[in-house]
Amino acid sequence: MILAGVCALQFIAPKFPAWMDWTLAGYALKYDDGHSPITIHDHRSGYYLVRAVDCDGAYLSLYLTKDKKFLKEIGTDLNEEGGQRDGDSPIAKNLPTLKTGKGISIGDTTTQVRHLLGKPTSAIRDRLKKSEFKLTYRFITGKNDDAVTYEETYSFQNGRLVEIAFYRSSGD
C-alpha cells in the first residue's frame, strides 16, 4: 500500500530540470507567512532584491537588480527607505550574497552560467544595445488552468552578469 502511494507521487510531482533554482541572494522564490513581499537595498553593492507577489501568489517573482527604471516601473519608491514591499520603499540591509542557490554570481560570464546550468531555453542579444544579452531558462508543468511556469533570466552587459530574475506563474 505504501509502495503504491510512493509510485503515485512520482507521477504527480513534476521532475524539475537541473538548472531550476529556488533561492536568490539568500531569499526564496516562495510566498507564505515566512516569505512575504519585500524590497531590500544593499548599499555596499548597490543592488536591490525584490520579492513581488500578485494575485494571491499566482504570480511570484524574485529580482536582483540595480536597474532603478525597472524598480520604479514595478512601484518601488526609491526616495524612501524602511518599509516592507507593501510600503513600496526598500529596507536598507546588506544582502547575504549576490548569488543564486546554484552558485551563479553577479559578475559571472555567459560561459560560466551555461557551464553551471546547461543550455538555455533562449539566448537573446539586444538589437539596439549590442553589449546586452539575456539567457532564459523556462519550464512548464501541467496543462491549461493547472499549468505552472518557472522561468529564470540572466542579463549580461559587456559579457558579465548584472541582473537575475526568477518567476513562477500559475493558471496561465
- Cell digits for 162? 548584472
| pLDDT at 129 exceeding the cut of 60 | yes
Does residue 59 lie within any of the structural domains? yes
Does residue 1 lie within any of the structural domains? no
Tell me what pLDDT residue 31 has: 80
Reported as type and span, the H/E element at residue 4 is: helix 2-12
Does residue 139 lie within any of the structural domains? yes
Q: Do 54 and 44 touch, CB atoms closer than 8 A?
A: no
Does residue 118 lie within any of the structural domains? yes
Tell me what pLDDT residue 86 has: 45
Print the domain residue range for 121: 18-36+54-71+94-170
156: CATH? 3.30.160
Whole-number average pLDDT of the chain: 85
| Global pTM value | 0.83
Which of 70, 153, 68, 139 has the alpha carbon at shortest distance from 110? Answer: 153
pLDDT tens per residue, range 3-57: 555 444 445 667 899 999 999 999 998 887 777 888 999 999 999 999 988 877 6
Does residue 11 lie within any of the structural domains? no
Tell me what pLDDT residue 80 has: 55
Does residue 43 lie within any of the structural domains? no
Q: What phi and psi, each to the nearest 5 degrees, are found at residue 9? A: -65, -35
Which of 156, 109, 158, 153 has the alpha carbon at shortest distance from 133? Answer: 156
- Cell digits for 20? 531550476
Give percent of the chain with pLDDT exceeding 70.
Answer: 85
Give percent of the chain with pLDDT exceeding 90.
Answer: 55
| Lowest-confidence pick of 82-91, 119-128, 158-167 | 82-91
Composition of the chain by helix, strand, coil, percent to 5 = 20, 40, 40
Q: Is 127 exposed, middle or buried (0-12, 13-18, 19+ CB in 10 A)?
A: exposed
- Cell digits for 6? 510512493
Q: What angle do CA 168, 169, 172 make, to 5 degrees?
A: 155
Tell me what pLDDT residue 48 has: 95
Does residue 89 lie within any of the structural domains? no
Does residue 46 lie within any of the structural domains? no
Number of domains forming the structure of the chain: 1
Residue 31's CB: how many other CB atoms inside 10 A?
A: 18
| pLDDT at 84 exceeding the cut of 50 | no
